[in-house]
Structure 1
Amino acid sequence: MSLTFTLDPAVTPALRDGILGLWADVSNAGGSVGFVPPVTAEDIRPELVKHLVGMAEGRTRLLVGLDASGEVAATAFFSFNTHRLMKHWVWLYTVMVHTRHQGRGYGRDLLAAAEEAARGFDGIEAIRLTCRGGNGLERFYGSCGYKEVGRVPGAIRVAPGDDRDDVFMLLPLG
């Protein structure tokens, strides 16, 4: 069974709540998506609202993966650069697969769908993302074709005394 991916789905209350639930569940399982446990959907809501505003303004696009029951199982957001010298690449962020679906190759499927979507964006030649060091994420992204292009040691403070590297990854689309 695989996920069904949709770029720019209609943002309904069910989709919004599904993303909030996914984000909270992934965060509470230790996922590196901008929060540390414990976190609630209400803690995450302001960040999702920022993403939705970016979508309404055309600066952000959403890729969502639904499972066989129609539940939100995976997401990735694209953010377009506004600087005229950087419009040839796009950021990929808030990349998540629900914990109940991990280990089935859905993360690779999500990244492949993101790559396919980005290839359809006018003038986009590469995808950049960052990931939190210390969890093996750079190895996973590397196995999907991304190359590490930079690292800021200790840039992410997960907790007092627990600083992680901010790792920059790039996937050329050429």
Structure 2
Amino acid sequence: MTNEKLNELLKPLVTDLGLEFVGIEFSPSRGSSLLRVIIDAPGRPVAIEDCERVSREISALLDVNDPIEGRYTLEVSSPGIDRPLFTLEHFTRFVGSEAKVNVALPIEGRHRFQGVIKAVEGDRIHLDQDGKDVVIAHANVVKAKLVPDYAALGIGAKGARNQDSGSRKRGSKHR
């Protein structure tokens, strides 16, 4: 099953529970695949109980629909301080924030960019990479996430290396 189909299946369930469906990361493998579902709680931190509740509901839904072939691990977590950016709406929401963006097709010979999200116009993301405007088509984005501002979070550079990302996880095995 494609990520798009999994998103379509899982988003309404998470939304019905009063939470924000941020997105999924699916890593298929021969032995045991990993399905990570990322949720957020509007106006408050994600609690372990949120992850547990979503995990139970998703487990039941996946058991009925059986969209994933073979064994897999389900993990439900908060976005953490290095929040992933999946949709154009995510990029728009975080205009002014710094992000790391990996692309499939190189832009000026590069696959990785880091800079401030300046704007989103149509399906194009404008990133300020060292004072230069880099325009990235959303369809070209392989992976994107916010870069935490450790100083604003009150975490020094030394603490940043040892600091947990703040995500809460609950895993359960299936099949």
TM-score, L = length of structure 1: 0.34
Query: Which protein has greater RCO, CA pairs closer than 8 Å, 6+ apart?
Result: 2
Structure ranking higher in helix proportion: 1
TM-score normalised by length of structure 2? 0.34
**Structure with greater strand share of residues:** 2
Q: If you compute each CA radius of gyration, which structure gives the higher value, 1 or 2?
A: 2
